[in-house]
Structure 1
């Protein structure tokens, strides 16, 4: 039986990313947060997940060990090797990375930009398959679709370039390990450090480079706009995975008693009375909490926080709501929208509406535009009309991971 070749991935992450710098964030782009994970973590995970890749090595800047450790903390895999320090230029960083990998005697190496987190398994495998078929250098590329123009010194067009033979290079670029290591050593001996990518070194030493189909989504994050679009893409992908959409409703009521303020939506509102209850009697948060439990089909607020339990005497209701939110998170889900209606004659809710929305948004870690607070009266009818108490109704929309059985 033919022995499987040893394939390693070399992830180049030693750059400073000057074009990504903003007034509010000066950190290297490979360590920026991308919807809950660093860019570098997402990139490395793709190669760790590939069944053909046996080792993954990152080349990092000498100042970035703490950033690297934090960024890769959750990458619990024996595939991930300790990082090595790179050089001033990308070509030197790759050269140092290849030297560090030599002791593992790999057959093939995949050299990838650390800031290309959207690489797919299909592209990785296409490169690997051609290496196994005998190619010593493989370049994933996309065919250029835009019309290309050459621009003169005066800013005018000099001519139109034939795009039919033009391809846009991506990574991971795959190589026979000995061949690419030799090409780097030769360039180093010739004092050449002007090669823009690793396939250019193979061209320099006369080794043919095979082009395979890349992926237009496999973009290199270079500018703040790139990062913004990347975050939007990941957020949308994560949302689409939560295809089990559920809606729950909640209702609560509390009577008035002597006091000087009511707690509604986590906000203290001056009034001639307060609401009577075992906890702080926040009918708005109680209704929202019950709505979330309803969407989860997980009992109600009384089953989780029994009024008979003395520990909840006078308790702030934000902890009840936070508990319900955590229950959603534990199921791998997220809250999509909250809608609360408060029913009372007095106090007037309007002046405090946005403060309530902001507080609920804070408790639930939800954008304020996904929190609605409304108020109505009962036209002097019933217990609320007689100002004997306040009622609240709420609806919660949540998204959970899809269930293939449905």
Structure 2
């Protein structure tokens, strides 16, 4: 593995107040930690992302990012320095060449900044994103100005701080028990040279209530800008499968106990088929039969998650994202409601979208028609996608 990311999320954030640690506070559609983690998960040079959490925060962690493809979390220590050391030791088995260490409470780290830190590591053992100090600096005694401080050569340090993995791990193990300000301080004590790269003003750390308000305002502004630069399209899908003995019943990715299953060339997942057609319809990309012909032997008995995952990838290839999915299952039996939340989670995982963008409903036809007679099941779905303005096809 060439590079790993270690997200430090074991702090309590006492300066912000409230009962929740700041990394788990809501920010837009997810917790602060979720925004931070996704920035690193989406980077092509980072092979593993691991989060260091507080011993009592496992439930909060699972709620915030449990559906993402992360390495198991590491329990931190009493101080940040202890947490980083424990996190680095947990990465030892991956043997990465480089590691980026980042504060969970900096949710607006950009890909450009991550690239800059990695570029800085190309010629050094450590790299620090930093911003110049623009305000005049004063040292005070009580409430009285004691002296001016020359700001020449001073910078504001940010994260992610990047290092050669073996050297920063050795430095942290050597510094165990000391109280140093950040990972660069640990590195310098160990004799590691650290270069600076240009930081970003938006990469601020959420520490106070004012910072949180600033973060929410920034996110709202970005969302508004994104909406103005995207077009929204909606597609519909409909599918029907008859009941058949001797087959499992799989609906929306979940196997449901029943005396019959659904007949079809694939696994006959009526819910995922309807959703797949809705997503493909939203981007005007044909239908499920165009991409997965029912007469093709390679799709015999195939799991339908492959079809929906393909459609979701087609959206992403156009630079878009799935905004919402809504599916209605139509049958007399079996009852769908007990399985609804599992279905929502499964659809969200397949499409790689948050669960709160997925709706699953069920209804009957009041004993009318083929579903009313218990001959089969139907599903209808709607999907909305956002595509960059000017997208065609």
Bin of the TM-score, shorter chain as denominator length: 0.5 to 0.7
1:66 aligns to 2:59 (yes or no): yes
Aligned to 1:369: none
Q: Is the 8 A contact 2:32 2:107 kept in 1?
A: yes
Alignment of 1:40 with 2:14, yes or no, is no
**Superposition TM-score, scaled by structure 2 size:** 0.59
Residues of 2 paired with 1:331 and 1:186: CA distance? Answer: 48
In structure 2, the residue matched to 1:397 is none
Distance 1:105 1:224, change over 3 A: same
CA-based RMSD: 2.2
- List aligned pairs for 1:255-266, cutoff 5 A: none
2:10 alignment counterpart: 14
* Paired position in structure 2 for 1:136: 125
Shift of 1:401: 5.8
Structure-to-structure mapping, 1:86-235, within 5 angstroms: 86-133=76-123, 135-153=124-142, 155-188=143-176, 191-192=177-178, 194-235=179-220
- 3-state SS of paired residue (2:84): helix
Q: Distance in 1 between matches of 2:172 and 2:66?
A: 31
Does the aligned pair in 1 maintain the 2:230–2:389 contact within 8 Å?
no
- How many Å separate the matches in 1 of 2:5 and 2:116? 14
Give unmatched runs, 5+ long, in structure 2.
Answer: 232-320, 325-385
Q: TM-score, normalised by structure 1?
A: 0.57
CA–CA separation in structure 1 for the residues paired with 2:229 and 2:131: 36
Q: 1:74 offset after TM fit, Å? A: 3.9
Q: Which residue of the partner structure matches residue 52 of structure 1?
A: 45
CA distance in 1 between counterparts of 2:180 and 2:103 reads: 15
1:95 match: secondary structure: helix
Structure 1 residues 106 and 405: CA distance shift in structure 2, 3 A: closer
Match of 1:403 in 2: 389
2:15 maps to 1:27: no
1:320-379 CA-partner distances (Å, limit 9, x unpaired)? xxxxxxxxxx9849xxxxxxxxxxxxxxxxxxxxxxxxxxxxxxxxxxxxxxxxxxxxxx
Confirm or deny: 8 A CA contact 1:32 1:38 kept in the other structure: yes
Q: Is the contact made by 2:6 and 2:52 (CA closer than 8 Å) also made in structure 1? A: yes
2:5–2:49 Cα contact (<8 Å) kept: yes
Give 1:83 shift.
0.2
Separation of aligned partners in 1, 2:105 and 2:203: 10
The aligned residue for residue 327 of structure 1 is none
- Aligned positions of 1:328-367 closer than 5 A: 332=323
Q: Which has the larger radius of gyration?
A: 1
- Report the Cα distance in structure 2 between the residues aligned to 1:231 and 1:52, rounded to whole angstroms: 29
C-alpha displacement of 1:244: 6.8
Q: Which residue of 1 aligns with 2:346?
A: none
> Relative to 1, partners in 2 of residues 1:53 and 1:106: Cα closer, same or farther, differing over 3 Å?
same
Q: Contact 1:12–1:60 (CA<8 Å) still a contact in 2?
A: yes
Question: How far did 1:403 drift?
Answer: 2.5
- Count of aligned positions: 244
- SS of match in other structure, 2:187: helix
Q: Using the alignment, how far apart are the partners of 2:209 and 2:196 within structure 1?
A: 30
**Structure 2 Cα separation of the partners of residues 332 and 97 of structure 1:** 35
Distance in 1 (alpha carbons) for counterparts of 2:172 and 2:10: 18
Q: Which runs of 5+ in 1 are unaligned?
A: 247-329, 334-399
